[in-house]
């Protein structure tokens, strides 16, 4: 009997190894899913009677169904199924290179789209439609960048240009058309819109499942209650930067300067929220500062911040005396100013040179959050294409299903 048990366990161990090898090979073939070193591989045997392979990938693990049980192998995938890379790849000293992060994201998106299309030649590529009203020079550049980046990531993209004389009804008519077009996955309406047109009205007219900017009330509402939602690209970019740099937020003091609905506020919402919801949020003690925060109070708060995020558009708002040693500083602000030689340049809210010597990590302007923002629009578009968010399933539905 003991001998039989011994052989049985030997057989099981060999099966564990064989399966681990096959999974390793499979994951390596996929390139995107390279596996951790053997020492950190933790195959867990539940049952190994049958080797009916069925791969599932989620939250840093690859699963294999053995027919009567499931094995999990730890991989270097993050919770979004992207490769969890070393932070050093995107750092130049303590300066975060947003361009490198954006390239990583674009390449990951492109690899995934190429794989999807290769596996089914009938499959079309994800499509993003951008609505541009008027000819605001900054908006024209943003839209052009988004279209170029979408093409580089293997998506198709079209820009619907409308003159600034259009009426709200004209825009709504176009959105209705795009909403019902099955070949359009994501819709962006470039803001700001000309005077006389209600941005709220227009943003809410985009179908939630195509609202890859996350500006519609349904997306905002779901985000507020920790339900899966499209998060606006700039906040999502900031969260992605923190994730890729492995910045722990739980229990930390986070201070956000700026409370705009599309930038500061969503960051605050995510950082303060519980990690138990759909969005695996920040669990940080979070403070919002805004234009009515007196300067001495602003300094008192920022000095306590382990993570300081600023989105105000006020150059040099944050100076080195306002920053705690070792803080992580993320600068979203972009302002065009004239330097001493009369040349135009872009600056953030942070006195970069002064603060750099105190921060453990810092984003520059330009080249920090900006490029990542554009990449996150594409990430949302890919999610829309894959229909990853079920907008018509509420928490109540889920409860009913799990109880049945
Ligand atoms: P906004 O004007 O809507 O909001 C500015 C916010 O700053 C407000 O909430 C205001 O209360 C706050 N503020 C003003 N003075 C302050 C002070 N003294 N202390 C603390 N807070 C103060 O602007 P927005 O759309 O949120 O953009 C903010 C900045 O981020 C701008 O410079 C914008 O260009 C930039 N931005 C960058 C990206 C990117 O991709 N990098 C994307 C969007 C916006």
List pLDDT tens digits, range 282-317. Answer: 999 999 999 999 999 999 999 999 999 999 999 999
95 φ, ψ to 5°?
A: -95, 125
Which of 3-7, 118-122, 186-190, 221-225 is predicted with the least confidence, judged by mean pLDDT? 3-7
For residue 83, the model assigns a pLDDT of 58
Name the closest-CA residue to atom 41, ligand 1. 370
| Nearest ligand 1 atom to alpha carbon 313 | 32
Q: Which protein residue's CA is at the shortest distance from atom 12 of ligand 1?
A: 258
- Residue 402 has a pLDDT of 53
pLDDT of residue 119: 86
Residue 357 CB contacts under 8 Å (≥ 6 apart), including other chains: 320
* DSSP H helices in 45-136: 98-119
Cβ-contact 75, 34 below 8 angstroms: yes
Closest atom, ligand 1, to C-alpha of 295: 18
Catalytic sites, residue numbers: 146, 190, 213
- 385 in the Ramachandran plot: left (φ > 0), alpha (ψ -120 to 50) or beta? alpha
Q: Are 271 and 293 in contact (CB under 8 A)?
A: no
Q: Residues 258, 264, 266, CA angle at the centre, nearest 5°?
A: 155
Across 349-355, average pLDDT: 98
Among the listed residues 55, 83, 59, the one whose alpha carbon sits nearest the alpha carbon of residue 70: 55
Classify residue 312 by its DSSP letter: S
Residue 396, Cα to own-chain centre: how many angstroms? 26
pLDDT, residue 24, reads 56
Per-residue pLDDT band for 88 (boundaries 50, 70, 90) equals confident
Ligand 1 mutation pick, 256, 263, 268, max ligand atoms within 8 A of CB: 263
Q: How confident is the model at residue 226 (pLDDT cuts 50, 70, 90)?
A: confident
Residue 93 DSSP one-character state: T
d(CA 30, CA 43): 19
Pocket probe mutation, ligand 1, options 260, 288, 302, 316, max atoms within 8 Å of Cβ: 260
Specify the residue with its C-alpha closest to ligand 1, atom 8.
258
Rounded to an integer, what distance in angstroms lies between the CA atom of residue 237 and that of residue 252?
20
Q: Which atom of ligand 1 is nearest to the CA of 334?
A: 32
Pairing verdict, β 186-189 and 127-133: parallel
* Ligand 1 centroid from CA 214, angstroms: 18
Count of all residues that appear for the chain in the document: 404
Span from the CA of 348 to the centroid of ligand 1 (angstroms)? 10
Dist CA 114 CA 60 (whole Å): 22
Q: What average pLDDT does this structure show over 56-78? A: 57
Confidence grade of residue 41 (pLDDT, cut at 50, 70, 90) = very low
Distance 239 CA to ligand 1 centre (A): 17
pLDDT-derived band of residue 10, with 50, 70 and 90 as boundaries?
A: very low
**pLDDT mean across residues, the chain:** 85
Helix (H) or strand (E) holding 377: helix 369-385
Whether residue 64 contacts residue 78, with contact meaning beta carbons closer than 8 Å, is answered with no
Q: Distance between CA atoms of 77 and 73, rounded to whole angstroms?
A: 11
Distance CA 84, CA 107 (A): 14
- Any idea what DSSP says for residue 82? S
Ligand 1 site: residues with CB under 6 angstroms?
234, 257-260, 262-264, 289-291, 293, 298, 311-314, 317, 332-335, 369-370, 373
- pLDDT band of residue 18 (cuts 50, 70, 90) is low
- Look at residue 259 and tell me whether its pLDDT is greater than 60: yes
Q: 283, 274 in Cβ contact below 8 A?
A: yes
**Residues 367, 391: Cα–Cα separation, whole Å:** 34
Residue 15 or 117, more confident: 117
Find all residues with CB under 8 Å of 372, minimum gap 6, and list them.
98, 101, 102, 105, 237, 238, 240, 241
Give the residue whose CA is nearest to atom 17 of ligand 1.
291
Q: How far is the CA of 298 from the centre of ligand 1 (A)?
A: 15
How many CA atoms, within 13 angstroms, populate the side-chain half-sphere of residue 66? 21
Please give the pLDDT value at position 27.
54
Ligand 1 midpoint to CA 382 (Å): 27
Residue among 239, 290, 371 to mutate when testing ligand 1 (max atoms within 8 A of CB): 290
Contact call for residues 168 and 197 (beta carbons, < 8 A): yes
| pLDDT interval class at 151 (50, 70, 90) | very high
3-class secondary structure, 359: coil
Closest by CA position to 300, among listed 268, 267, 329, 323: 323
Which residue has better confidence, 4 or 198? 198
Residue 113 pLDDT grade (very low, low, confident, very high; cuts 50, 70, 90)? very high
């Amino acid at each position: 009997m003991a001998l039989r048990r011994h052989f049985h366990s030997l057989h099981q161990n060999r099966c564990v190894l064989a399966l681990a090898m096959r999974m390793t090979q499979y994951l390596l073939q996929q390139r995107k899913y390279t596996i951790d070193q053997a020492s950190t591989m933790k195959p867990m045997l539940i049952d190994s009677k049958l080797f009916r392979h069925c791969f599932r990938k989620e939250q840093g693990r690859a699963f294999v169904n053995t027919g009567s049980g499931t094995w999990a192998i730890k991989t270097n995938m993050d919770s979004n199924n992207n490769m969890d890379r070393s932070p050093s790849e995107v750092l130049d000293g303590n300066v975060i290179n947003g361009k490198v992060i954006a390239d990583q994201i674009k390449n990951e998106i492109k690899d995934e789209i190429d794989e999807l299309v290769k596996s089914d030649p009938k499959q079309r590529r994800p499509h993003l439609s951008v609505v541009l009203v008027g000819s605001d020079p900054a908006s024209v550049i943003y839209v052009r960048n988004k279209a170029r980046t979408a093409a580089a990531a293997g998506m198709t993209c079209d820009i619907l240009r409308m003159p600034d004389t259009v009426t709200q009804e004209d825009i709504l008519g176009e959105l209705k058309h795009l909403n019902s077009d099955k070949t359009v996955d994501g819709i962006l309406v470039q803001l700001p819109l000309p005077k006389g047109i209600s941005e709220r009205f227009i943003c809410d007219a985009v179908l939630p499942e195509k609202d890859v900017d996350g500006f519609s009330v349904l997306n905002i509402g779901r985000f507020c209650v920790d339900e899966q939602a499209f998060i606006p690209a700039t906040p999502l970019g900031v969260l992605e930067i923190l994730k890729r740099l492995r910045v722990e937020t739980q229990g930390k003091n986070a201070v956000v300067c700026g409370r705009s609905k599309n930038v500061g506020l969503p960051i605050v919402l995510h950082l303060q929220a519980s990690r138990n919801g759909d969005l695996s949020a920040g669990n940080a003690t979070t403070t919002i500062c805004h234009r009515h925060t007196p300067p001495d109070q602003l300094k008192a708060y920022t000095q306590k911040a382990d993570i300081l995020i600023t989105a105000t558009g006020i150059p040099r708002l944050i100076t080195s005396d306002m920053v705690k040693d070792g803080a992580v500083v993320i600068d979203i602000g972009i302002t065009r100013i004239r330097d001493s030689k009369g040349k135009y340049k872009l600056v953030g809210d942070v006195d970069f040179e002064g603060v750099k010597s105190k921060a453990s990590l810092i984003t520059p302007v330009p080249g920090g959050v900006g490029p990542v923002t554009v990449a996150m629009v594409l990430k949302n578009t890919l999610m829309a294409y894959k229909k990853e968010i079920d907008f018509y399933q509420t928490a109540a539905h889920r409860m009913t299903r799990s109880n049945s």
